[in-house]
Structure 1
């Protein structure tokens, strides 16, 4: 009977050692899972911060684009206005040239008439 008891104690001790080993493995596994969860949370927070920074950069770029488009529209309007003014000035110059030509012809005609009268 002592042998049986000793055998049982030995088996119980072995089972207990196995259970303790399993518990140790489980605790280690639990720590690894918790460590991975903490790492995943940190990665998620980092990604959220990076996303926020990217959104801010995008917003700033859109503001710069909008400002540039407004400046381009103003420059386009200015150029169109200057082209219109140039067309008006060109027409005025053409009209003035025609008047000068007409006055010059009239003056020649008058000079010829005066020359005929004097002759």
Structure 2
């Protein structure tokens, strides 16, 4: 028994086996969050572009939807686009579930709800 306690062979292997899953989870969680924030920045950009185009009467509703879908196509995610327009304002919303926003979805699948970007702009006078 004394020989067993003093023998340190394999200690590094055991430490690696204990710590590797935690380090791997943290790495993939950071990767997921970085990708999710990149997609979110693109969502904001495309929402602003579409709202601005509609407020300037440069885009129709179908063209605005196409601009958003085309601008976000690089992410290969599904987005829901809502456009509301009245006499004075235009509101463009883009949403996608948190759970499908990451690359590996290691961390993002644990978050419920949707990531929503919404931009409202006054229409330019004609």
- TM-score, structure 2 length as denominator? 0.41
Using the size of structure 1 for normalisation, the TM-score is 0.43
Greater RCO structure (CA 8 Å; 6+ sep): 2
Q: Answer 1 or 2: which has greater helix percent.
A: 1
In our comparison, the structure showing a higher alpha carbon Rg is 1
